[in-house]
Chain A
Amino acid sequence: EAGVTQFPSHSVIEKGQTVTLRCDPISGHDNLYWYRRVMGKEIKFLLHFVKESKQDESGMPNNRFLAERTGGTYSTLKVQPAELEDSGVYFCASSRWDRPYGYTFGSGTRLTVV
């Protein structure tokens, strides 16, 4: 089966611009998660979807970040307007059930805000 796909793999944008990251989970995986690693820090939880519903968005840093999962398939994470501190790697993971040993991570999107 195809893995979790994220694109773009890299994005370089200027401060103040908008960027949209996309994640395509494994087909049939109801659970979708976003994590990110900002430079020099640990990978941190952002939010969790079950199908199209936001199950837990306690990790979203501020209201410049908007995540959607229309139709319960792919998900997008929009950053608007982007700030320098948003630079990092954004990972998406999916699982059939909410069991962490079943998480499959994508390769991540490296975002650089200049």
Chain B
Amino acid sequence: DAKTTQPTSMDCAEGRAANLPCNHSTISGNEYVYWYRQIHSQGPQYIIHGLKNNETNEMASLIITEDRKSSTLILPHATLRDTAVYYCIVRLRTNTGNQFYFGTGTSLTVIP
């Protein structure tokens, strides 16, 4: 019952843009897309989130397709410290609060 699907792994050259895709074809109209990343032995860390518009912050950009069935996380200039597992997440808002539905994650390796 996975709500998101991601490639298992990707490589990116240092200094180049890393583009991480995510499919969420069953997303509902009020469900947000979140991206977190997990660097080895640490907990997941927030990167960015969005509903339907593209978003940008100091860490990354999030491009969401018009039909909202997929999105791409862009790290504009990848560094070695960006090597991590990146999780694409759908946030379900219920009457009692928020629940995250994590994908299996993409292991990004930034290569010198």
Contacts and interface: CB of A to CB of B under 8 A. Distances in A.
B24 interface: no
Interface in B7-52: 32, 34, 36, 41-46, 49
Interface in A17-66: 31, 35, 37, 41-45, 48, 50, 55-56, 58-59
Contact of A91 (B41, B43, B101, B103): B43
B interface residue count range (under 10 / 10 to 19 / 20 to 34 / 35 or more): 20 to 34
Nearest to A95: B98
- SS of B interface (majority): strand
B43 A100 contact: no
Nearest to A110: B41
A4 interface: yes
A98 B98 contact: yes
A43 B85 CA distance: 12
A41 B32 CA distance: 22
Contacts of B94: 56, 58
B104 interface: yes
Contacts of A98: 97-98
Contacts of B45: 105
A57 B94 CA distance: 12
A interface residue count range (under 10 / 10 to 19 / 20 to 34 / 35 or more): 20 to 34
A100 B44 contact: no
A67 interface: no
A113 B15 CA distance: 42
Contacts of A106: 43
A107 interface: yes
Contacts of A37: 102
A108 B85 CA distance: 15
B106 to A, nearest CB: 13
Given A55-B96, A55-B97, A100-B34, A44 B102 contact: yes
Contact of A42 (B32, B96, B102): B102
A100 B42 contact: no
Given A43-B100, A93-B43, 5 more contacts: A58-B96, A91-B44, A99-B98, A100-B32, A102-B46
